[in-house]
Amino acid sequence: MSAQMNDQSRALSSNAWLKSYYFLRFAVSAAWVALAFTVAKTGSPLAAVMLIAYPAWDALANYLDAQRSGGLGRNKSQLLNVVVSVITAIAVAVALGRGMNAVLAVYGVWAAFSGVFQLLTAARRWKTNGAQWAMILSGAQSALAGLFFVKMAGGMEAIGIANVAPYAAFGAFYFLVSAVWLSVSDARRKSPQVAS
């Protein structure tokens, strides 16, 4: 019985971090989307900074999460996500000199890879944390969005930061759903303990 309670308390402690992490990811993504649709929509220098900052933030966030979950050595999918996101931030900085179509192509490749890595991370966590279905959906959708971005980048229509914003908005939504779902799951886990 004590071993089971230890497992439960470990899961609750791990979920406490994940809830904070998911709420933070939601807040940052939501703020990024709001800026993309307002201040940065006109293609200002702010838009360029934001386009570089988004994958850079993803790299930092994955690094912090992996460190709280046993380190990058134990979380290979997050290690790969960190590496791909850092490379993407650099590639976006270079692509900005060639135009938004090149930037969108870089974002497409990044979204495809990071989506797969996010899906793998969520699948691994399912056993220990549960409530990972939204992160799995988010990873799958990110991978599909990446293919769409690459196709769109080869087209002739005008592209701006607003083309990337819906992708970030869906990410924000999934992070919020995951945080709320974990909160509900934890409340259910705690309720039998309170009753006893």
| Cβ neighbours of residue 129 closer than 8 Å, sequence gap 6 or more | 11, 14, 15, 18, 182
Look at residue 192 in the predicted model and tell me its pLDDT: 56
Look at residue 188 in the predicted model and tell me its pLDDT: 74
CA dihedral for 195, 185, 124, 55, sign (positive or negative): negative
Domain segments of the chain as ranges: 15-187
Look at residue 126 in the predicted model and tell me its pLDDT: 85
Look at residue 43 in the predicted model and tell me its pLDDT: 67
pLDDT tens by residue, 102-139: 999 999 999 999 999 999 999 998 887 777 899 999 99
Look at residue 127 in the predicted model and tell me its pLDDT: 81
Q: For the chain, which residues score pLDDT lower than 50?
A: 1-7, 194-196
Look at residue 44 in the predicted model and tell me its pLDDT: 78
As a whole number of angstroms, the distance between CA 124 and CA 73 comes to 14
For 131-150, b where at least 16 C-beta lie within 10 A, e where not — what string? bbebbbbbbebbbebbeebb
